[in-house]
Amino acid sequence: METAVVIISILLIAIVLLQSGKAESANIIQGGSSELFQNRKERGAELFISRLTFILGFAFFVLCIFISFM
C-alpha cells in the first residue's frame, strides 16, 4: 500500500510541474494587470492535465486516510 502512495505522489509532482501558470501574463511585481482575473477556459491537454491532477490528488488523499486507519 505504501508503494502505491509513493508512486501516486511522484506522478502528482510530475503532473503539477507540467501545468502552465494561470497568471503567466500578469505583472504581479510591477502592480498587476487587468488580465489577471480574466476568464480562461481550459481546453485539450490543459483540461486533461487538470483533471488528472484532481484524480491523483484525490487518490493520494484517500490512500493516506486509509493507511492511517490501518
Contact 16, 22 (CB under 8 A): no
User: Residue 44 has what pLDDT?
Assistant: 82
Distance of alpha carbon 70 from alpha carbon 53, whole angstroms: 26
The confidence score (pLDDT) of residue 70 equals 87
Look at residue 35 in the predicted model and tell me its pLDDT. Answer: 59
pLDDT along the chain (70 residues), means of 10: 93 90 56 58 83 95 94
Which residue from 11, 18, 8, 16 is spatially nearest to 61, judged by alpha carbons? 8
The confidence score (pLDDT) of residue 15 equals 93
pLDDT score of 47:
87
What pTM, to 2 d.p., does this model score? 0.70
Instruction: Pull the grid cell for residue 16.
Output: 503539477
